[in-house]
Amino acid sequence: MRLIKLKEVMGSTGLARSTIYKYISNDTFPKPVNLGARAVAWVEEEIQDWILERIAQRDESTFINLS
């Protein structure tokens, strides 16, 4: 298991910092792990799973539109 910092999360998802935190507040993005007073990180696998879910949703909607 690997923890990744915000910069890497932003690079992997293509999302801005404010968007990531907005999605977290809407319970639509993985929550960070508290590492200390001012440090957080995300579980890399949870971020990868979130990305794969977005791809699956895209593919489902593409399939529906082609029917």
pLDDT single digits (tens) 39-67: 999 999 999 999 999 999 998 876 666 55
The distance between the two most distant Cα atoms of the chain, rounded to a whole number of Å, is: 52
**Enclosing domain of residue 18:** 3-66
Q: Under a CB-based contact definition with an 8 Å cutoff, are residues 13 and 51 in contact?
A: yes
Question: What's the pLDDT at 47?
Answer: 98
Instruction: Count how many domains the chain has.
Output: 1
pLDDT single digits (tens) 15-42: 999 999 999 999 999 999 999 999 999 9
Q: Under a CB-based contact definition with an 8 Å cutoff, are residues 48 and 29 in contact?
A: no
Question: What's the pLDDT at 55?
Answer: 95
